[in-house]
Structure 1
Amino acid sequence: MYEKVVLIIARIIITPLFIYSGLGKVLHFSDNVAKTPFGDTLVGQLMIVAAIIIELGGSLCFLTGYRLKAVSIIWIVYVFLTSVLFHQFWLYTGAQQSSQFIAFGKNLSIISGLLYFSLFSPERRQS
Structure 2
Amino acid sequence: MRSMRLVRNFTEAIARFLLSAIFLVTSINKMFHWDDFERILGSIFNDWLTYGILPDSLQDAFLSLAHWAPALLIVSTAFEFFGALLILLGWNERLGATLLILLLIPTTFLFHPFWLLEGTERELATPMFLKNLSIIGALIFIALNGTRSRERAVAFSP
Identity %: 25
**C-alpha RMSD over aligned residues:** 1.9
Please report the TM-score for the alignment, with normalisation by the length of structure 1: 0.86
Match of 1:35 among 30, 37, 40: 40
**1:69 correspondence with 2:74:** no
Map Cα deviations across residues 23-71 of structure 1 (whole Å, 9 max, x no partner).
12111111111222244x3x10011111211111222212221111111
**After superposition, where does 1:82-97 map in structure 2 within 5 Å?**
82-97=107-122
**1:80 correspondence with 2:85:** no
CA drift of 1:81 comes to 1.0
Name which one, 1 or 2, has greater alpha-carbon Rg.
2
Match of 1:57 among 56, 59, 82: 82
Aligned partners of 2:80 and 2:95: how far apart in 1? 13
CA drift of 1:98 comes to 1.0
Aligned partners of 2:90 and 2:151: how far apart in 1? 6
Structure 1 range deviating more: 113-122 or 44-53: 113-122
Please report the TM-score for the alignment, with normalisation by the length of structure 2: 0.70
In the alignment of these two chains, the number of paired residues is 124
AA aligned to 1:16 is A
Aligned partners of 1:54 and 1:93: how far apart in 2? 32
Bigger relative contact order, structure 1 or 2, given CA contacts below 8 A and separation 6+?
2
Q: Which runs of 5+ in 1 are unaligned?
A: none
AA aligned to 2:108 is S
Q: Which runs of 5+ in 2 are unaligned?
A: 46-64, 154-158
CA contact (8 A) 1:62 1:71 kept: yes
